[in-house]
Amino acid sequence: MTEIRRRRAAVIGGGITGISAALFLQRDGHDVTVFERDEIGTGTSMGNSGVISIAGCIPTSVPGIVGRVPKMLMDPYGPLSIRWGYLPNLLPWLVSFARNSREDRVRANARAKSALLELSHAAYDTLIEQADAESMISRRGVLKVFRSNASFAGAKFEMDVMRECGRKFTVLGADDIRQMEPALQPIFEHGIFYDDNSALRHPGRLVQRFARTFVEGGGKIVKETVTGFQGDTAIRTQAGDHETDIIVIAAGSWSADLVRQLGSRIMLDTERGYHIMLPHPDTTLNRPVALAEHSVFLSPMEHGLRMTTGVELGGNEAPPDFTRARRMVGHISDAVKGFRTAEQSNWLGFRPSTPSGVPYLGALPRHPNVYLAAGGGHVGMTMGPVSGRIVADLVAGRDPGVDLTPYRIG
């Protein structure tokens, strides 16, 4: 094996992808510094549904979605809203999103996502073992439930593509659902059980555990905002320049602006997502449950029952609007026995999303020592560790074990 030359690495972003990249680079002996403007474990990697979604290969843009958009926008409980003032900025992304809804593209995009998902558990397990974090994971699968025959029939394309991609799942009937999740009301006729998916008991705390492991191993976390670059040999923050040999951009939905400063353009925008934390019912769910008709995830966590819902297209700057999320709390209250609607806390996060659903991963065309890992969208929490591992492989000159063509920049 060729000896890896120790180098200085600057990782921009302290979410699950950035911290994972930092840990894998550190394992190779590099001197790594993470730059994060906020507290670790408080961003999008904290507020998600807490699912390691190995089966999550289906992109958001699927056949027929463009025709359903007007109805979704008109529905006060619908899963989609748009900040209309942001629409001119969003138009190129939306055009590409529509083009990616063709069936041939959807299948190709699903295959590309699946190739990374296939490697995700192994990358996670490496970091979980290193951080002694097994107690923070629940390996009881994830359940998606359907009230009606019609909505379940609408999932046929999704299941066909998952089968093509080798994703594992089991179709359940009403009796199976009741036995698996006694806390659910007996109103669901069909279910899909993803037995190799896992759940995080508190996503933010897991990222913080990984970060603590990184620091204990000699890594540094600097709370500064990266504002630019000095070529590819230094990053610039409000406090000054920091020289480095390797730069990893893992800044989530802010990555596009950083990449643009280095002469590359990527199709990346923000799918704003909301959650509401609720008290556990007397008998809570055994695992995360997706309510198909409502596009809602209910995730039992150590600090309450998390309801994540909806996509809002509006960039990173607009203030939060919890109207739809709060409406949804009452709208789904008949789904769980003893459901409690008292709001404990709320949150808005920014999913870095590509129109295809396929993330960016690799070196920038004009800057071979600058690597990008961004665009995980709805499975960013799942893909973070494998993306970080692949970045470390590329820095070391190792075969990452997957064809990176679908994820290339530019």
Nearest alpha-carbon partner for 11 in 238, 169, 242: 242
Contact 204, 349 (CB under 8 A): no
In a domain, 98, yes or no: yes
Label residue 310 left, alpha or beta by phi (over 0 means left) and psi (-120 to 50 means alpha). left
Nearest alpha-carbon partner for 353 in 40, 97, 68, 107: 97
Contact 270, 90 (CB under 8 A): no
In a domain, 2, yes or no: no
Contact 143, 177 (CB under 8 A): yes
Q: What is the CATH number of the domain that holds 370?
A: 3.50.50.60
Residues 386 and 275: their CA atoms lie apart, in Å, by 25
In a domain, 183, yes or no: yes
Which tens digit of pLDDT belongs to each residue from 299-358? 999 999 999 998 999 999 999 999 999 999 999 999 999 999 999 999 999 999 999 999
Which tens digit of pLDDT belongs to each residue from 22-51? 999 999 999 999 999 999 999 999 999 999
In a domain, 3, yes or no: no
Nearest alpha-carbon partner for 289 in 392, 184, 136: 184
In a domain, 339, yes or no: yes
Span 227-235, average pLDDT: 92
Query: In the block, which residue shows the tokens 């994830």?
Result: 142
pLDDT band of residue 3 (cuts 50, 70, 90) is confident
In a domain, 1, yes or no: no
The pLDDT of residue 231: 83
pTM, entire model: 0.97
Span 162-188, average pLDDT: 98
In a domain, 276, yes or no: yes
Question: Is it the case that residue 120 has pLDDT exceeding 60?
Answer: yes
Residues 295 and 312: their CA atoms lie apart, in Å, by 13
Nearest alpha-carbon partner for 55 in 160, 156, 162, 200: 162
Question: Is it the case that residue 257 has pLDDT exceeding 90?
Answer: yes
Q: Report how many domains make up the chain.
A: 1
Q: Which domain holds residue 276?
A: 8-407
Across the strands, what pairs with 312? 81, 272
The pLDDT of residue 2: 60
Over 236-255, what HEC string results? Answer: EECCEEEECCEEEECCHHHH
Question: Percent of the chain beyond pLDDT 90?
Answer: 97
- Calculate the CA dihedral of residues 221, 226, 229, 234 and round it to 10 degrees: -20
Residues 314 and 321: their CA atoms lie apart, in Å, by 11
Nearest alpha-carbon partner for 56 in 116, 15, 97: 116
Question: Percent of the chain beyond pLDDT 70?
Answer: 100
In a domain, 323, yes or no: yes
The pLDDT of residue 410: 77
Measured in degrees and rounded to the nearest 5, phi and psi for residue 34 equal -100, 130
pLDDT band of residue 78 (cuts 50, 70, 90) is confident
The pLDDT of residue 4: 81
DSSP letters, 328-389, are HHHHTTTSBTT------EEEEEEEEE-TTSPPEEEEETTEEEEEEEE-BGGGHHHHHHHHHH
pLDDT band of residue 168 (cuts 50, 70, 90) is very high
Residues 51 and 45: their CA atoms lie apart, in Å, by 11
The pLDDT of residue 310: 87
Q: Look at strands 8-12 and 246-249 and give their pairing.
A: parallel
